[in-house]
Chains A and B, each alone.
Chain A
Amino acid sequence: MRTRFIVDKSVGYFLMLMALTSILAVFLIGFFTLREGLPAISEIGLGRLLTGSVWRPGLEEFGLVPMIAGSVLVTIGAAILGVPLAIGCAVFLAEIAPRWMSNIVRPAVELLAGIPSVVYGLFGMVVLVPLARKVPVAGNSGFGLLAASAVLAVMILPTITNISEYAIRLVPREYREGSLALGTTRWQTITRVILPSARSGIVAAIILGIGRALGETIAMIMVIGNSVIIPRPLNANPLTIFLSQARTLTGNIAVEINYATGIHESALFATGVILFVLIMLINSSARAIMRERTR
């Protein structure tokens, strides 16, 4: 009796210790990134980092706007391409496919989440970049936002599909039957009752996908071109902005950290802090939306 009690207790403490370790890890990563970034934040100033439009470390110019624009644009592009695809997949899996078919398609979609991102980068380089290069616009190298957005769209597909499918499956069967019993088609039932009822879960899924997109690094470096420029349309058509090269916040850190020293190095850490905070905010807002839903 007594020993079992002790064993129970110590197992409990052990598990608690492990949980605390992961919290500690988050804390330590945040702390050290911040410590290394602080010199840049205090010397350059957070305002100038965030609003400066020139990044030229050799000339002590540390403006992140080109990279912020790159990250934001590539994420928007990924959302435009990936969100309809992912929601379509989720509706198919939850509402349309017979069970045996979703049992094949679902693992296939989940498999996408397990592919190393460098492999996505390779795929982007040999397939998507040459495809993007086919768009006949002067100055289009193929490397740029379009190819990067397409890669990213596939990378965020499993996240959004998974959580959206879950949200759709949570919609009570009674809504579905109530709608069909009124003489509506399956399509009307999906668009007018099921998707609106699952909306908050789907929004949370999209936000989590965006968080994932903002954090992606290596695949972006391989296809986005990495020019430190604020992306602009290549001709009069504003859509050609997506053929422009760009650099992401994450890519900027990874590309330069190997040779950066002094204030330059610190500025890269400061970029890391900004990403860290941004993605934490994004993930916790998604979590808040999901909590709202289940309440």
Chain B
Amino acid sequence: MSAYDLAVVGGGPAGVAGALTAAQAGLRVALLDAAPRLGGQYFRRLPETFHATREAALHHGLDRFLRQSRALRSLADVLLEHRVWAVERHGGLGDFVVHAVAGDREERPVTVRASALLIATGAHDRPLPFPGWDLPGVLTAGGAQALLKGNLVVAGRRVVVAGTGPFPLPVAAGLARAGARVVEVLEANGPLGLARHPALAASKLGEAAGYALALARHRVPYRARQAVVAAHGDGELTHVTVGRLDRDWRVVATRTVECDTLAVGYGFVPQVELAVQAGCAMGHDLDGSPVVSVDAAQRTSVAGVYAAGEPTGVGGAELAEVEGRIAGHAAAADLRSAVHLAAEPPGTAVHRPAEPPGTPAHWAAGPAGLAVPEPLLRRRARLRAFAQALHRAYPVRPGWRDWLTPATLVCRCEEVPYEAVREAMDLGATDARSVKLLARPGMGWCQGRMCGYAVACLAGELPQAPRRPIAQPITLGSLERMTDDPS
């Protein structure tokens, strides 16, 4: 007998929407998130000042999200500062164990048992290496958003924002708003990729136009086909080399720009290791990212495991929320159908993920019989089309490799320079894993979250779904005290 019907990992738009939908349908729900606040990548990091500003209109979603969070807290158990390091499937269907560690100094192991599992773990930044990217003052777009929390830190800084796609725009607008001097915003791809697509959702266009307006108001130049190809400074950032790029991102001309802060964003990597642990079948998104394969109701290939938001493909906060709601509906419907739970007696056997199947028997062939409201499915289709259009318009082009010098660090945790990666390949490494075994990129603290994409590209393969049996660091003391009994 499980303590909960549904355990949700992740408290961003997807996880909160999924948990709330399921709880409103009568399920007993627990939501776990590593952070001290709900909100995920997008909402948690919005500075308080956003509320009172005109930009707040752009984030009308925030009010909705806060309402959802409040409702969720009254209907479900919300376990914050719980870092999930492993999920296990006991026996057969409907018996999952989520292993987390709670607290910071006084870390303690926590175990949550549930009949179903929703993986809504979001994504993390996808930086590209370039000379000097390890200098203090160089941040990822996500890191810059975190900085925004304290206006004091930001005000007066000279900032360059570089990358591709729309996500660096709100960062630039936020920085300008908070009093930073945003010197320029650089888009490595062409200027019009986004606007040309017919699937462009009106609301999204409005949003993008809004940021563009905000940037114009602060007189921030927006330059296409340009990127920061090197950062310089003695101990901290003082200036950057900006390259004018050809279509493949090879540098055709350079100039120097003075700045003390650089925010770079080249997309996101979905966090899928918990799905890999559970044995879910994986695929690749248009941008090359490994993603969890799901059916029309967000079911993964493992019965009882659902995925929503960025783990199924990067697509923004609105799509994440819609997917979360669909997953919540589906989980409630699936758990209610007696067949599902009676199918297998409570298991005692060791857990064993399913073989990646062709088409799993429990996947819905079409939208019929999903128990998911039709309008939600239509919104998802529209938002997904938009996400795919973004991937097509703002790809990462191979020319970035030419920005590297032999000494450019590829892996910052283990301080692995580009030349070591090349030496590994010369020694007979043919993929990211063997490069890692020979040269150590990805073996350090972040376990390849930062460098994994770049190393895979350099090794000439698509990034593979990460196998991380320990998804979050855990002290040996907690590991020793971990139990299978729900606390």
Q: Are chains A and B native binding partners rather than an unrelated pairing? A: no
Residues of B participating in the A interface, judged by any CB pair closer than 8 Å: none
